[in-house]
Amino acid sequence: METKSNGKNGGDVKISNINPIAKKISFILSISTINVILLLLPYTNLRSQTEDENISQKKAYYPDEIERFNVVLLFESPPSYNEILQKAASVGLDKALELLPFNEQKKDEIKKRKKINSSDFVKKFSIDGRSEKPEGIEIFASLLFDMKRLIRAISNEEPEPKYTIDCYYIEPIIKSVLEEFQSSANIKCELNEEKADFVQPSRLEIKIKGEISNKGKMEKLDFSKTFLFFSNPPYDEIKEEIQNYISSKFGKTKKIEEQKILVIVKKDKLNEIISSLRKKAFIYSVIPFYVLRDGEKIKSEIVIRYFSDIPQETILSMTKDIVSKSEGEITE
């Protein structure tokens, strides 16, 4: 530190007057400044890195059966109501496809299908406002989009199935198989059961006749098979044989898949899980089976039936997310 002082002779005399305490303070401040800079640099880099990770690990969104979309549309001239609806539905379809776990190639292929009419999936539509712009008329609209119906249309291009089944106690099995193939049918069953003793097996002869839809046309169905059993009828075997018959005879592929999970959760939370699953667009049906009660908790097997176009990994991830939000857990 340098100061100036007037001497007796009137000349300026430079005096070197370095205060030791001031020198120490200056040194400490310099070191502190360096430390602050060094601390800020890694913090900035860490924050940037964290933001990048958050973007790359964006939480998956599992759409509900009905989704609301707000759209902004631009027209060169005043549009009619139908023109607004058609354009809003088209934009809504684009938004809906973005919520599905498909690659861009499949999304483009879906848009080109003749039977995928975007307006068919609009359950409710409203025009919320309009404004004039230099480039045209801007329309603000909102629509409720039927996601589940869209996924079903993607999975199966046939009309929604209708069933007329008269098959006694195996009717639930028949309906379950038809649902898996998403095929309409009009069928009747003839059951001939012969009860035997403990030595000889019982016999159940099943004959199924009627019609089943195949590529938009009704074709004859004629199935016959005898099953042997000792206690209860082999329902799983019956279902598998009917599945194999329909698959081989009509060249059908399953449109609905099944996933079974075991859930441990508080008794009052089970219905919450079932309700949440049923609201999701990917789910066809949810069937809970009560397995074991243990105090305030319950262990339940849940059968989740979902559209086959949706990856199994997506269904499992979605289910785990819903169960965890209800303070439950999935076990083996």
262-280 mean pLDDT: 94
Q: What was the pLDDT predicted at 94?
A: 95
Q: Is pLDDT of 7 > 60?
A: no
Out of 16-20, 143-147, 157-161, 250-254, the most confident range is: 143-147
Q: Is pLDDT of 244 > 80?
A: yes
Q: How much is the mean pLDDT over the chain?
A: 84
Indicate the range of 60-64, 91-95, 182-186, 229-233 predicted with least confidence: 229-233
Out of 16-25, 33-42, 117-126, 210-219, the most confident range is: 117-126
Q: What is the dihedral of CA 56, 58, 62, 63, to 10 degrees?
A: -100
Q: Among residues of the chain, what percentage have pLDDT more than 70? A: 82
- pLDDT tier at 51, thresholds 50, 70, 90: very low
Q: What was the pLDDT predicted at 22?
A: 47
Q: What is the DSSP string of 36-64?
A: HHHHHHHHHHHHHHHHHHHHHTPPP---B
Q: What was the pLDDT predicted at 159?
A: 74
Q: Which two tokens stand for residue 8?
A: 């007796």
Contacts 24+ apart (CB under 8 A), 130-139: 133/74, 135/74, 135/76, 136/74, 136/75, 136/76, 136/77, 137/74, 137/75, 137/76, 137/77, 137/78, 137/79, 138/72, 138/73, 138/74, 139/72, 139/73, 139/74, 139/75, 139/79, 139/84
Q: Is pLDDT of 40 > 80?
A: no
Interstrand relation of 329-331 and 217-229 (parallel, antiparallel or unpaired): unpaired
3-class SS of residue 230: coil
Tell me: the pLDDT tens digits for 79-134? 999 999 999 999 999 999 999 999 999 999 888 886 788 999 999 999 999 999 99
Q: Is pLDDT of 293 > 90?
A: no
Q: What was the pLDDT predicted at 50?
A: 39
Interstrand relation of 12-16 and 2-6 (parallel, antiparallel or unpaired): antiparallel
211-230 mean pLDDT: 92
CA proximity to 107, closest of 117, 96, 115? 96
Q: Is pLDDT of 8 > 80?
A: no
8 A C-beta contact, residue 211 and residue 221:
yes
What is the residue whose two structure tokens read 């919520």? 99
Q: What was the pLDDT predicted at 121?
A: 95
Angle at 180 between CA 176 and CA 184, to 5 degrees: 80
What is the residue whose two structure tokens read 């309409």? 184
Q: What was the pLDDT predicted at 19?
A: 52
3-class SS of residue 72: strand
The residues that bridge with 127 in the sheet, in sequence order, are 141
33-39 mean pLDDT: 40
8 A C-beta contact, residue 63 and residue 95:
no
Q: What was the pLDDT predicted at 58?
A: 54
Q: Name the pTM for this structure.
A: 0.73
Q: What was the pLDDT predicted at 295?
A: 80
Tell me: the pLDDT tens digits for 164-192? 999 999 999 999 999 999 999 999 999 99
- Cα→Cα distances 47→17, 52, 94, Å: 46, 9, 34
- Cα separation, 322 vs 319, in Å, equals 5
Q: Is pLDDT of 4 > 70?
A: no
